[in-house]
């Protein structure tokens, strides 16, 4: 006999009820689970509407000097940006093209709804009573910023200066930059945005945090740190003969010394004269696992914690070092390494800070309209990466690299101040000029500023970069 | 609350009345909330609308009591509640269309009353099944005809009637259910009592399948020409469901679903508009879609995100940023302002409607009435699931409306007639069993 | 003043949700009660159907008798059954005929010779429609209104 209709009705109803359940779960997903991400989408008209009818909060430097402000015009409020060199950091707030930079990262705070002030969020959401926006204060010091911008000039590259004790970023320059004002002007925004997107030099990129480059010799501090903490004797002299090869299995691959050296070197000499063969031998001695471990401890290959987007570098293509030639190369800063200027600044800040790596951040405070501090942005340090003893030893050797006899980083000397630092000339693509690096800190005995400089494709390499670093440090130290 | 003794309660339909009182309560509250936030364009018409609507519902109730109608008392209040929410949302989202929707509500109430009174004998419906089939086909084809047909938003599913236009396919879905119910009652034994089997698969007796497959085929082809994805899915679903209800053969259901998926693939590659819909469903946030074809869905999702648990509050959200929100995305708009709580309540109302309809089907005394009631309930449930699924990005978006709630005259009228038919079936059951009205 | 208005407005919005849910709960409650009444109705002795004796043997119910059916009816040889079928071919407890979910059902209670409906042996629980012929042993009964 055929099955009764009643049974079929029951099965069908059950199936439909299941479908309703799935639908309810879907509703719950979009209203609750995925809601934060959607609410902060820069193209969400709710977020945008909350902004254009009222003045947006100002973004200021550490001394209160305005960097981005909302000016009253006939048709509402328009955003005005004061400093071109901070374009990638401050970002833009466009109703059409969304938000970027600090404008995006602190979007809630800039419309008076900072997460640290739930009452204002409640009032805005449920009573339509939006608090007048206060301001977001950055750690940037315009004086240092200007010095950095002037130093780098029109050369492609980046300079970042930060306080090793707190991680606050004092200056951040990425060249080429652009003028963000047309992007937020409704009559000019389409053309401006089109041009920026198609510019081969990528002015929208914040090279400080998002530019990835081979480090070259500045990486040697990591090799040195790994060696020192493995019990390697830094005072032992090693034989250096250019060119160098561990054994015949390397074929026609050799490590070459920048100064075609032949002699005995200890680690201090290695830093002072930036001796690749010395560090290659150190690397081979401590082994790939140790080197990789310390690179990772220093944050290479991980995304640094930052309130703006940051790029993840790499230790090697695969993440590990699997052959001796690659180990040798990586030990003196080439190989397949990729780092950002920010990451390098943090690494040297660790050395400057007794082995404790600080957390980098652009913003330092959020204030309300009356000037009261709503939220203080002072993330604690990431942790103790190396022992204070190791840091001290490395610091002394870095001083030697600048101040010592024949030190390659002599260009970074500042009269009356002990400067610690290292230059790097990083080979990148064959046929292209190398990148010039300098990373250093001052004053060496009690550092208050760390600077990382990279000048893209400059034949003189680190020699070009070092004086730029000095210029920035002088501005920071008030000399 | 009365304690019923399981004895027929007689003439007064108390349950219905008390439920309508609750409808009145939240309807008035909802209107007040929406009107209070429209500081700029307060018009006295807006305040009259809830009064007219509630009077209308009361009139229907009095009408039912007056003709001593013995039957279900739950479906009509649910329909009234959903229609009320619809009116509130139209006021909120497209206040210039409010009077139109109210007029349609009045027409729908009239159609409901007509369905209650005519035809005298429901089973007579079964006798005219071929008439319904023919009428259904004519109505389906009508929009394709040159003089009276109209194309709106790429879909040619409208016909001009006097000053306005209607979507005949809404009526066709009911005609289809009546036809299938009648046909399947006659032939269900044959269709499921499959003697021959190839391995595990039953071989359906083809000659008996031909008329219904033909009917269904015509509906599908016409829908493809009229470019209405939603109606196509709906007709397909109705066909499969009716077949399953009548025969219980899961094989038909599985085969049908497989064909649907295969057809879907083919449609994706053959038809541009299908491809857009599916692409938008899969990656709405991609650069090339999110400002263009995917804009509506993305705005809908933004609205949902703003809803949270309790909603942004009636009148406090920004659902008006969703294009054509009053007919395509009412669910998202309601979810934004009434939150997940409101959205779940709305879904629950449809689920209870489904359950009540299916219960009526279970108790119907003849197979035709069982299939009819179950089919009609299925229509409402499927329509709800498809449009809400599209709004929630669970499935690609289609153009069908949320029953009773979304703006749309034809939909409202046919759905109220559907409720009338369900009530008629329950009336037959009550008479036959002499049971008590709940 | 502004704030009071805002608070009032929020009160109305919350009231809307609350009332909507109360309506939903009431609807659900009514549904439950409808279910209960309709089940109660179905359980009553129906007076709706009879088994009319079509074929019989000596001692079993008389030919042509209209036997009224209750909601649940036990059929068999035993005197304790609701409908006694006094045929040796029938088992003491032979079959069950009951009215449930608006339908009539027949179920074999484990009889020796089986229960037959319209010529086919009843395997489990089968629907019994008006006009169907139920055979218990050599006695045939037809379900009629």
Mind listing the pLDDT tens digit for each residue in B155-169?
A: 777 777 776 778 888
H or E segment at B9?
A: none
State both tokens at C70. 């209750």
Pairing of strands C72-76, C83-84: parallel
What's the confidence (pLDDT) of residue A385? 94
**A128 to chain B: closest CA residue:** B316
State both tokens at A241. 């003969």
Which contacts qualify for B264-272: CB closer than 8 Å, 24 or more apart? B271/B224, B271/B227
Rounded to the nearest angstrom, the minimum Cα separation between C80 and chain A is 31
Contact check, Cβ <8 Å, C24/B37: no
- pLDDT (tens digit, 9 = 90+) per residue, A88-121? 999 998 877 778 899 988 888 887 778 887 777 7
ipTM: 0.90
What's the confidence (pLDDT) of residue A124? 67
Tallying the residues shown for chain C, one arrives at 145
Category of A431 on φ-ψ map: left (φ > 0), alpha (ψ -120 to 50) or beta: left
**Cis bond leading into A22, ω under 30°?**
no
Q: How far is CA B326 from CA A119, A180, B66, B82, B86, in A?
A: 33, 39, 36, 14, 9
Closest alpha carbon to B140 in B110, B178, B168 = B168
Contact B197, B161 (CB under 8 A): no
Q: How many domains does the structure of chain A reveal?
A: 1
Q: Find residue A406's DSSP bridge partners.
A: none
Which residue ranges make up each domain of chain B?
A: 2-433
What's the confidence (pLDDT) of residue B6? 41
Judge whether residue A159 has pLDDT over 80. yes
Closest alpha carbon to B309 in B337, B351, B346 = B337
Rg (CA), chain B: 22
**A128 to chain C: closest CA residue:** C6
- pLDDT (tens digit, 9 = 90+) per residue, B174-217? 998 998 898 888 777 666 665 556 666 666 677 777 776 777 77
**Does the CB of C130 have a partner CB in chain B at under 8 Å?**
no
- A217 catalytically annotated: yes
| CA-based max dimension of chain C | 96
Per-residue pLDDT of chain B (438 residues; tens, 9 = 90+): 344 444 344 557 889 999 999 999 999 999 988 888 765 455 676 678 889 999 999 999 999 999 888 888 999 999 999 999 999 999 888 888 888 899 999 999 999 999 999 877 777 777 788 888 888 888 888 877 776 777 776 677 777 777 677 888 888 889 989 988 988 887 776 666 655 566 666 666 777 777 767 777 776 777 677 777 888 888 888 988 998 898 887 777 887 888 878 877 888 888 777 888 888 899 888 877 887 888 889 999 999 988 888 888 888 888 888 888 888 899 999 999 999 999 999 999 999 999 999 999 988 877 888 899 999 999 999 999 999 999 999 999 888 899 999 998 889 999 999 999 999 999 888 776 654 443
Q: Which of residues 2-61 of B touch C (CB under 8 A)?
A: 4, 6, 15, 18-19, 22-23, 25-26, 29-30, 32-33, 36-37
What's the confidence (pLDDT) of residue A57? 87
Whether A1 is covered by a domain: the verdict is: no
**Does the CB of B340 have a partner CB in chain A at under 8 Å?**
yes
Secondary structure of chain A as H, E, C letters = CCCCHHHHHHHHHHHHHHHHHHHHHHHHHHHHHCHHHHHCCCCCHHHHHHHHCCCCCEEECCCCCEEEEEEEECCEEEEEECCHHHHHHHCCEECCCEECHHHHHCHHHHCCCCCCCHHHHHHHHHHCCCCCCCEEEECCCHHHHHHHHHHHCCCCEEEEEECCCCCEEEEEEEECCCCCHHHHCCCCHHHHHHHHHHCCCCCCCCHHHHCCECCHHHHHHHHHHHHHHCCCCCCCCEEEECCECCCHHHCCCCECCCCCCEEEECHHHHHHCCCHHHHHHHHHHHCHHHHHHHHHHCCCCCCCCCCCCCCCCECCCCCCCCCHHHHHHHHCCCCCCEECHHHHHHHHHHHHCCCEECCCECEEEEECCCCCEEEECCCCCCEECCCHHHHHHHHHHHHHHHHCCCCCCHHHCECCECCEEEEEEECCCCCCCCEEEEEEEECCCCCCEEEEEEECCCCCCHHHHHHHHHHHHHHHHCC
- pLDDT (tens digit, 9 = 90+) per residue, A445-456? 999 999 999 999
- Local structure of B85: helix, strand or coil: helix
Whether A437 is covered by a domain: the verdict is: yes
Closest alpha carbon to B313 in B343, B342, B337 = B337
Closest alpha carbon to A333 in A428, A259, A199 = A428
Q: How far is CA A436 from CA A149, A157, A172, A203, A261, in A?
A: 16, 9, 17, 20, 21
Q: Which residues contact B155 (CB under 8 A, 6 or more apart)?
A: B226, B227, B228, B399
As a whole number of angstroms, the distance between CA A151 and CA A412 comes to 13
**Does the CB of A45 have a partner CB in chain B at under 8 Å?**
yes
Whether A373 is covered by a domain: the verdict is: no
Best to test chain A binding among B392, B396, B402 (most A CBs inside 10 Å): B392
As a whole number of angstroms, the distance between CA C106 and CA A312 comes to 74
Given the residues A217, A316, A340, A395, select the one marked as catalytic.
A217
pLDDT band at A348 (very low <50, low <70, confident <90, very high): very high
Best to test chain B binding among A5, A7, A20 (most B CBs inside 10 Å): A5
Name the strands in the sheet holding A420-426, side by side, starting at the edge strand that comes first in the sequence: A169-175, A157-162, A449-455, A435-442, A420-426
- Please list every residue in chain C whose beta carbon sits closer than 8 Å to the beta carbon of residue A127: 3, 6-7, 10
Whether A352 is covered by a domain: the verdict is: yes
What is the torsional sign of CA B237, B238, B240, B244? positive
| Averaged pLDDT for residues A52-67 | 87
Q: What is the value of pTM for the model shown?
A: 0.64
What's the confidence (pLDDT) of residue B246? 86
DSSP letter for B320, please: G
pLDDT band at A125 (very low <50, low <70, confident <90, very high): low
Question: Residue A248 maps to which CATH number?
Answer: 3.40.710.10
Whether A154 is covered by a domain: the verdict is: no
Lowest mean pLDDT among A51-55, A239-243, A293-297, B191-195: B191-195
Tallying the residues shown for chain A, one arrives at 479
Tell me, rounded to whole angstroms, the distance of Cα B309 from its chain centroid.
26
Question: Of the candidates A1, A127, A129, which has its C-beta nearest C126's C-beta?
Answer: A1
Per-residue pLDDT of chain C (145 residues; tens, 9 = 90+): 667 777 888 888 899 999 999 999 999 999 988 888 777 766 555 566 888 888 888 767 778 777 878 777 888 887 777 788 888 888 888 898 887 777 888 988 888 888 999 888 887 788 888 889 999 888 899 988 7
| CA-based max dimension of chain A | 105
- pLDDT (tens digit, 9 = 90+) per residue, A398-419? 999 999 988 899 999 999 999 9
CA B390-B393-B396 angle, 5° bins: 55
- Local structure of B60: helix, strand or coil: helix
* Residue range of the domain that includes A444: 210-364+378-477
**Cis bond leading into A223, ω under 30°?**
no
Rounded to the nearest angstrom, the minimum Cα separation between C1 and chain A is 13
Give chains near B: 3+ CB pairs under 8 A: A, C
- Local structure of C83: helix, strand or coil: strand
Contact check, Cβ <8 Å, C23/B435: no
State both tokens at C6. 């805002």
Rounded to the nearest angstrom, the minimum Cα separation between C81 and chain A is 27
Closest alpha carbon to B88 in B23, B170, B151, B157 = B23
Whether A156 is covered by a domain: the verdict is: no
What's the confidence (pLDDT) of residue B5? 40
- Mean pLDDT in chain A? 90
Burial zone of A320 (CB within 10 Å; 0-12 exposed, 13-18 middle, 19+ buried): exposed
- Please list every residue in chain A whose beta carbon sits closer than 8 Å to the beta carbon of residue B362: 6, 9-10
As a whole number of angstroms, the distance between CA A236 and CA C41 comes to 102
Q: Which of residues 345-374 of B touch A (CB under 8 A)?
A: 347, 350-351, 354-355, 358, 361-362, 367, 370-371, 374
Contact B126, B181 (CB under 8 A): yes
Rg (CA), chain C: 26
Whether A252 is covered by a domain: the verdict is: yes
Residue recorded with tokens 């299938």: B180
Judge whether residue A65 has pLDDT over 90. yes
**Does the CB of B385 have a partner CB in chain A at under 8 Å?**
yes
Q: How far is CA A81 from CA A42, A92, A209, A270, B258, in A?
A: 19, 8, 21, 46, 59
- pLDDT (tens digit, 9 = 90+) per residue, B265-293? 888 888 777 888 888 899 888 877 887 88
Could you tell me where the DSSP H helices lie in chain C? 2-43
Contact check, Cβ <8 Å, C10/A1: no
- pLDDT (tens digit, 9 = 90+) per residue, A174-194? 999 999 999 988 788 888 988
As a whole number of angstroms, the distance between CA A382 and CA A360 comes to 9
């Amino acid at each position: 006999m055929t099955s009764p209709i009643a049974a079929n009705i029951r099965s069908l109803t059950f199936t439909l009820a299941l479908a309703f359940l799935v639908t309810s779960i879907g509703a719950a997903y979009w209203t609750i689970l995925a809601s934060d991400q959607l609410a902060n989408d820069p193209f969400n008209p709710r977020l945008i509407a909350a902004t254009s009818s009222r003045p947006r909060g100002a973004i200021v430097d550490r001394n209160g000097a305005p960097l981005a402000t909302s000016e009253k015009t006939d048709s509402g409020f328009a955003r005005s940006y004061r400093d071109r060199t901070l374009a990638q950091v401050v970002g833009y707030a466009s109703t059409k093209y969304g938000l970027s930079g600090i404008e995006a990262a602190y979007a809630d705070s800039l419309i008076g709804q900072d997460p640290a002030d739930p009452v204002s969020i409640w009032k805005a959401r449920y009573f339509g009573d939006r608090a007048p926006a206060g301001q977001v204060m950055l750690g940037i010091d315009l004086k240092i910023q200007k010095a950095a911008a002037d130093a780098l000039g029109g050369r492609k590259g980046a300079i970042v200066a930060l306080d090793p004790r707190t991680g606050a970023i004092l200056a951040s320059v990425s060249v080429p930059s652009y003028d963000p004002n047309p992007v937020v002007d409704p009559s000019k925004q389409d053309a401006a945005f089109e041009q920026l997107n198609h510019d081969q030099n990528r002015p929208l990129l914040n090279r400080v945090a998002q530019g990835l480059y081979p480090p070259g010799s500045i990486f040697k501090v990591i090799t040195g740190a790994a060696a020192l903490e493995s019990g390697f004797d830094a005072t032992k002299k090693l034989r250096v003969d250019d060119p160098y090869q561990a054994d015949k299995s390397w074929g026609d691959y050799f490590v070459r010394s920048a100064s075609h050296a032949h002699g005995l070197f200890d680690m201090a000499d290695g830093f002072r004269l930036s001796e690749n063969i010395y560090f290659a031998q150190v690397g081979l001695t401590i082994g790939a696992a140790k080197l990789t471990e310390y690179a990772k401890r220093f944050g290479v290959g991980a995304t640094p914690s930052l309130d703006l987007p940051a790029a993840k570098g790499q230790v090697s293509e695969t993440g590990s070092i699997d052959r001796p030639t690659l180990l040798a190369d990586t030990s003196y800063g080439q190989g397949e390494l990729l780092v950002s200027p920010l990451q390098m600044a943090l690494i040297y800040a660790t050395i400057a800070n007794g082995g404790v790596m600080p957390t980098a951040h652009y913003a330092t405070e959020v204030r309300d309209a009356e000037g009261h501090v709503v939220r203080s942005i002072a993330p604690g340090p990431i942790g103790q990466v190396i022992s204070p003893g190791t840091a001290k030893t490395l610091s002394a050797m870095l001083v030697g690299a600048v101040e010592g006899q024949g030190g390659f980083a002599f260009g970074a000397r500042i009269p009356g101040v002990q400067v610690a630092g290292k230059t790097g000339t990083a080979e990148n693509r064959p046929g292209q000029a190398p990148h010039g690096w300098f990373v250093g800190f001052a004053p060496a005995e009690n550092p208050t500023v760390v600077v990382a400089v990279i000048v893209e494709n400059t034949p003189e390499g680190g020699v070009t970069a070092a004086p730029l670093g000095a210029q920035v440090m002088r501005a920071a130290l008030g000399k | 609350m009365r304690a019923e003794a399981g004895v027929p309660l007689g003439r007064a339909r108390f349950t219905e009345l008390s439920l309508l009182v609750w409808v009145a309560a939240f309807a008035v509250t909802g209107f007040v909330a929406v009107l209070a936030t429209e500081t700029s364009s307060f018009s006295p018409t807006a305040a009259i609308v809830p009064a007219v609507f509630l009077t209308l519902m009361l009139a229907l109730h009095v009408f039912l009591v007056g003709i001593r109608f013995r039957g279900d008392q739950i479906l009509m209040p649910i329909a009234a509640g959903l229609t009320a929410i619809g009116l509130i949302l139209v006021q909120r989202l497209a206040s210039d269309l409010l009077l139109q929707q109210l007029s349609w509500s009045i027409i729908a109430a009239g159609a409901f009353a007509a369905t209650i009174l005519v035809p005298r004998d429901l089973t007579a419906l079964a006798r005219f099944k071929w008439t319904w089939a023919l009428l259904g086909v004519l109505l389906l084809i009508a929009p394709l005809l040159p003089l009276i047909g109209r194309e709106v938003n790429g879909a040619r599913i409208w016909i001009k009637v006097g000053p306005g236009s209607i979507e005949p396919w809404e009526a066709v879905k009911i005609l289809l259910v009546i036809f299938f119910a009648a046909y399947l009652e006659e032939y269900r034994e044959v269709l499921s009592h499959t003697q021959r089997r190839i391995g595990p698969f039953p071989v359906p007796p083809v000659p008996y399948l031909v008329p219904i497959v033909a009917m269904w085929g015509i509906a599908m082809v016409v829908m493809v020409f009229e470019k209405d994805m939603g109606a196509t899915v709906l007709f397909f679903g109705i066909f499969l469901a009716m077949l399953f209800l009548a025969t219980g053969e899961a094989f038909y259901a599985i085969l049908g679903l497989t064909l649907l998926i295969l057809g879907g693939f083919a449609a994706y590659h053959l038809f541009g508009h299908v491809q857009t819909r599916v692409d938008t469903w899969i990656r709405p946030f991609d650069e090339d879609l999110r400002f263009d074809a995917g804009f509506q869905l993305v705005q809908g999702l933004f609205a949902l995100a703003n809803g949270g648990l309790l909603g942004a509050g009636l009148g406090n959200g920004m659902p008006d940023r969703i294009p054509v929100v009053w007919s395509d995305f009412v669910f998202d708009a309601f979810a934004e302002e009434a939150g997940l709580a409101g959205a779940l309540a709305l879904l629950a109302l449809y689920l209870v409607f489904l359950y009540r309809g299916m219960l009526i089907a279970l108790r119907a005394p003849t197979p035709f009435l069982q299939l009819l009631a179950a089919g009609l309930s299925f229509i409402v449930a499927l329509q709800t699931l498809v449009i809400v699924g599209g709004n929630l990005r669970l499935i690609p978006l289609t153009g069908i409306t949320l029953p009773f709630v979304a703006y749309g005259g034809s939909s409202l009228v046919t759905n109220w007639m559907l409720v009338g038919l369900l009530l008629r079936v329950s009336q037959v059951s009550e008479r036959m069993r002499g049971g008590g009205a709940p | 003043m502004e704030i009071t208005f805002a608070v009032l407005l929020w009160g109305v919005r919350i009231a809307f949700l609350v009332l909507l849910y109360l309506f939903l709960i009431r609807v659900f409650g009514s549904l439950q009660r409808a279910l209960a009444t309709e089940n109660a109705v179905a359980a009553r002795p129906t007076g709706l159907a009879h088994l009319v004796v079509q074929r019989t043997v000596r001692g079993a119910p008389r030919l042509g008798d209209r036997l009224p059916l209750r909601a649940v009816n036990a059929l068999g040889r035993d005197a304790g059954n609701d409908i006694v079928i006094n045929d040796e071919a029938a088992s003491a407890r032979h079959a069950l005929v009951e009215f449930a979910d608006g339908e009539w059902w027949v179920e074999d209670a484990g009889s020796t010779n089986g229960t037959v409906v319209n010529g086919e042996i009843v395997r489990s629980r089968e629907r019994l429609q008006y006009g169907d012929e139920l055979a218990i042993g050599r006695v045939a009964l037809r379900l009629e209104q």
